[in-house]
Chains A and B, each alone.
Chain A
Amino acid sequence: MATISTTSSSEAQQESGVVRSFLRKYREQSLIFYLLIVVAVAATIFIPSFRTGSNARNIFVQSVSLGFVSIGQTFVMISGGFDLSVGSVISLASCLTSGIIDGRLEYLVPVMLLVIIIGGSVGLLNGVLISKLHFAPFIATFASMSLVQGVTYLYTKYPPGSMPSAFSYFANGTIAFIPFPLILLVLVLAAAAYVLARRKYGRYVYSVGSNLEFSRLSGINTAKVLIITYVISSLLAVVTAFFLTSRMGIGDPNIGSDVEINSITAAFLGGTVNGRGSVLCTYAGVLTLGMIANILNMLNVSSYWQMALRGAILVAVVLRGIKTV
């Protein structure tokens, strides 16, 4: 079951409503929504300080950084790979941004463009290694992760430079009381969901993930699809870097250290596998992880225990086995 678009499912959509057909089409992935609701309800009942509006707002804003990256990771994982280099791209982007700008407002836009280009070229490297040189995806991104991390450490070992105060709008500004980063995330989420569901490229990503060889033989330019996918992932990593740098006011060469694991875990929680996945479900996974972290912080659980728990969640999620199409 669960092929992507067939006429029978669109008839079912007209009959039983959008939500129910969404749940049916993404049956395996939407388990995450039930988990999300259970965790949220349990926390609301049992932890008084969870119930405040500012706490809820906090959770959403915190989810933005992991959210952007996980959207990119979802694209990559649907295409059949993993992107281990996102963390180091975030580190490099944040260090270059605050290091080169160093508080000067007039450098802001050119440097942001430069960093976007650099980040995109890492994605290009990944895509080329995987599609043209036939590297296994995790080997290619493992190597590029080390490469980018090395370049980052070469540039700086400590948080460098500074950001002009106007830049803090990226992370802290609001439009009609809604935090700007959240609005950006919703836009990106909607765009990603649209591309995956309705655009030709999106369908090609699913196809390449299900079976690379058949896709190639069907005439799909699999190299182009893969390269675009990894570039998207790296670009979203750069966006995340901008958000984090804006929030802290400075870059940090270690800022991306746990990001790969968390984004892969969130995507797995959302039921992403080769050839199947949904950015909405992944974001539900992001929110779940964010809520769990929030709850554990309130219960004063040390960050070391949280680290061990996150690894355990990853192992637990894949323990049920990864069913590919």
Chain B
Amino acid sequence: MLLPTKATLKGSLRRNSILTILLVFLAGSAILFPSFYKLNNILNILCQSSYIGIVSLGQTFVVLGGGIDLSVASLMSCINVLLANLTLGKDAAVPWTIPVLLLVGAGIGLVNGFIIVKRRVPAFVVTLGVAVVLNGLRLILTNGAPFGYIPRSVRFLGSGKLGIIPVAFLVFLLVMVVSHVVLKKAIFGRHLYAVGVNEKASHSMGIRTDGVRIASYVICSVMAALSAVILSGYINTADNWSAKGMDLDSIAAVVLGGTMLEGGRGGVIYTMIGVLLIGLVTNVIVYAGLAIEIQLIAKALVFILAVALYHGLARTKA
């Protein structure tokens, strides 16, 4: 049975190459754009990376189990809109709204997980369908024009600082630590890796593969909801398409970081590197004065390169 990558040479080679790419990119942009490393800019990138990072961590859980979740972007926009609608800008409403929103996320994750696992339908079809349904429902709710405001406390969460460290980044660090512990130390985490590597064998070993996979979708959606709350605080507005592109971003971060799409290999550290890379690519493009559309093209190209590269490395091992 395949061991987690840490123990294999090819795995450490892959992880080191990602780190190398990241360092090269950092060094390169420091040379080309010295003003890029102003404190303000770095803090900005940290804030953005935080909400992208949290949803990417959720996506990591799903991908490790061998699935994928394309509904995160739509769900995040829904949470953004719902947050504004339900709280109407009042801080007093926040303590009950946030748990409700996280529960909504969990519910969507349950729906995704159930259909994918129990009905054996390809993950991306189901999550794509759910994304469209959520888009439609959101537009119906807002009738095209979202209303409400983001409460001050959420704004602090999204763009506030404790000292010089962004609050959002602290939340991201917390989620990162918890995810890492769950994946590496908890039984659920080990089962998730096993299911991703070989579902049938795991099932025969007695692992409740259905439960593990459904749980991964629930975790992903809850993290997407949390990420959406932080995003709302960062952009300080409710917008029907506020999380547009988050599906590509989160999957690209997971893939860039080295987590394999067939599942079973990867983890939190990998994804974190991927998130940093995506954040850097996005921001350097803006900083270099290139058109915003180049971001989309660059992300797609980097995505294709990463999958081709890592797949090549993985296949030579077999």
Q: Which residues of A contact B (CB under 8 A)?
A: 82, 129, 133-136, 138-140, 142-144, 146-147, 149-151, 153-154, 258, 261, 264, 302, 304-312, 314-315, 318-322
Q: Please, how many angstroms separate the alpha-carbon atoms of A112 and B295 in the complex?
A: 28
**Nearest B residue (CB) for A323:** B120
Q: How large is the interface on B (under 10, 10 to 19, 20 to 34, 35 or more residues)?
A: 35 or more
Interface status of B211 (Cβ within 8 A of chain A): no
Q: Out of A139, A304, A321, which one reaches B119, CB within 8 Å? A: A321
Tell me how far the C-beta of A137 lies from the nearest C-beta in chain B, rounded to whole angstroms: 10
Are A305 and B140 within 8 A (Cβ)?
Answer: yes
Total A-B residue contacts, Cβ distance less than 8 Å: 119
Residues of B within 8 A of A315 (CB): 115, 126, 129-130, 133
16 extra A-B contacts, CB within 8 A, seeds A261-B132, A307-B139, A308-B136: A133-B307, A133-B308, A134-B315, A135-B307, A142-B248, A146-B296, A146-B299, A147-B300, A153-B293, A261-B128, A304-B136, A307-B132, A311-B133, A315-B115, A318-B122, A322-B121
Interface status of B304 (Cβ within 8 A of chain A): yes
Q: Please, how many angstroms separate the alpha-carbon atoms of A129 and B311 in the complex?
A: 11
Are A319 and B119 within 8 A (Cβ)?
Answer: yes
Residues of B within 8 A of A305 (CB): 136, 140
Interface status of B137 (Cβ within 8 A of chain A): yes
Tell me how far the C-beta of A96 lies from the nearest C-beta in chain B, rounded to whole angstroms: 15
Residues of A within 8 A of B124 (CB): 82, 138, 142
Are A302 and B120 within 8 A (Cβ)?
Answer: no
Are B297 and A150 within 8 A (Cβ)?
Answer: yes
**Nearest B residue (CB) for A310:** B132
Known: A135-B311, A146-B299, A311-B135. A154 touches B128 (CB 8 A): no
Are A154 and B304 within 8 A (Cβ)?
Answer: no
Annotate B275-318 by CB proximity to A: 1 below 8 A, 0 otherwise.
00000000000000001011111011101100110011001000
Are A139 and B129 within 8 A (Cβ)?
Answer: no
Are B131 and A318 within 8 A (Cβ)?
Answer: no
Tell me how far the C-beta of A316 lies from the nearest C-beta in chain B, rounded to whole angstroms: 9
Tell me how far the C-beta of B180 lies from the nearest C-beta in chain A, rounded to whole angstroms: 26
Annotate B127-152 by CB proximity to A: 1 below 8 A, 0 otherwise.
01111111111011001100000000
Tell me how far the C-beta of B68 lies from the nearest C-beta in chain A, rounded to whole angstroms: 8
Tell me how far the C-beta of A304 lies from the nearest C-beta in chain B, rounded to whole angstroms: 4
Are A139 and B261 within 8 A (Cβ)?
Answer: yes
**The 8 nearest A-B residue pairs measured at CB:** A308-B136, A311-B132, A150-B296, A311-B133, A307-B136, A150-B297, A147-B300, A314-B129
Residues of A within 8 A of B251 (CB): 142
Interface status of B93 (Cβ within 8 A of chain A): no
Are A136 and B261 within 8 A (Cβ)?
Answer: yes
Per DSSP, chain B at the interface is: helix
Known: A146-B303, A305-B136. A311 touches B296 (CB 8 A): no
Residues of A within 8 A of B261 (CB): 136, 139
Annotate B182-195 by CB proximity to A: 1 below 8 A, 0 otherwise.
00000000000000
Interface status of B125 (Cβ within 8 A of chain A): yes
Annotate B109-127 by CB proximity to A: 1 below 8 A, 0 otherwise.
0000001000111101110
Q: Please, how many angstroms separate the alpha-carbon atoms of A308 and B119 in the complex?
A: 21
Tell me how far the C-beta of B263 lies from the nearest C-beta in chain A, rounded to whole angstroms: 12
Residues of A within 8 A of B311 (CB): 133-135
Residues of B within 8 A of A302 (CB): 140
Q: Please, how many angstroms separate the alpha-carbon atoms of A319 and B115 in the complex?
A: 7
Q: Please, how many angstroms separate the alpha-carbon atoms of A157 and B304 in the complex?
A: 24
Annotate B48-78 by CB proximity to A: 1 below 8 A, 0 otherwise.
0000000000000000000000000000000
Q: Please, how many angstroms separate the alpha-carbon atoms of A80 and B121 in the complex?
A: 14
Residues of A within 8 A of B294 (CB): 150, 154
Are A321 and B140 within 8 A (Cβ)?
Answer: no
Are A149 and B128 within 8 A (Cβ)?
Answer: no
Are A308 and B137 within 8 A (Cβ)?
Answer: yes
Residues of B within 8 A of A140 (CB): 304
Residues of A within 8 A of B299 (CB): 146, 150
Residues of B within 8 A of A264 (CB): 125, 128
Are A318 and B291 within 8 A (Cβ)?
Answer: no
Residues of A within 8 A of B301 (CB): 147
**Nearest B residue (CB) for A129:** B304
Are A143 and B296 within 8 A (Cβ)?
Answer: no
Residues of B within 8 A of A133 (CB): 307-308, 311-312
Q: Please, how many angstroms separate the alpha-carbon atoms of A150 and B244 in the complex?
A: 13
Q: Please, how many angstroms separate the alpha-carbon atoms of A261 and B133 in the complex?
A: 11
